[in-house]
Amino acid sequence: MSSTIYLAIPVMLLLAVVQTAVIPRFPILGLIPQLPFLVALGWGLLRGMNEGIVWAFIGGLLLDLFSVAPMGATSFSYMLAILAVIWVETALPADRFFVPVIMAIAGTVIYLLVYLILLRLLGYLTTFQGAAALLPTAILHGALILPIYWLMFYLDRVFRPRPVEL
């Protein structure tokens, strides 16, 4: 694993604070996007499964610190969704437009289903309102992943240029 964990901690801490303090005040069509999940997914699509899972773990753990949900539920859900999505993504052709959108939609569905099941198993009350927002949230994440992914792609290329080989 590379040293991106040192980048993941401050970035995910900032995103967790924004996610819990700012984003709920400005919902998009009544929905609150999960920015740490989208950033972890975008990073995993760019840099591979190991780094995506590390970013998902850190982001989920930091979000759990700010919530009343059981510790580790968000982190586990993020990691499982990103693991499944990136595993499937390795079998798909390389594409910078359609693949991130499809992976964001699939990953969001997996993340929210696992999270709702975990909460239910651990005795927390879940409503159908949370399950009803699953598909609209997945579509919103599909739309939001492209600017996040392209920004991360650009930053990755600027700060870690590929060596030229002859």
pLDDT at residue 1 is higher than 60: no
Domain boundaries, the chain: 5-159
Counting every residue, how long is the chain?
166
CA distance 19 to 25: 10
Please write the tens of the pLDDT for every residue from 63-75. 999 988 889 999 9
Could you give the C-alpha distances from 162 to 46, 67, 146, in angstroms and in order?
13, 40, 22
- Residues 77-134: pLDDT tens digits? 999 999 999 999 888 887 778 889 999 999 999 999 999 999 889 888 777 776 788 8
Helix (H) or strand (E) holding 47: helix 35-47
Mean pLDDT, the chain, rounded, equals 89
Write down the CATH number for the domain with range 5-159. 1.10.1760
> Which pLDDT score, from 0 to 100, does residue 92 have?
81
In sequence order, the 6+-apart residues with CB closer than 8 A to the CB of 100 are 41, 42, 45, 145, 146, 149
Q: Higher-confidence residue: 73 or 165?
A: 73
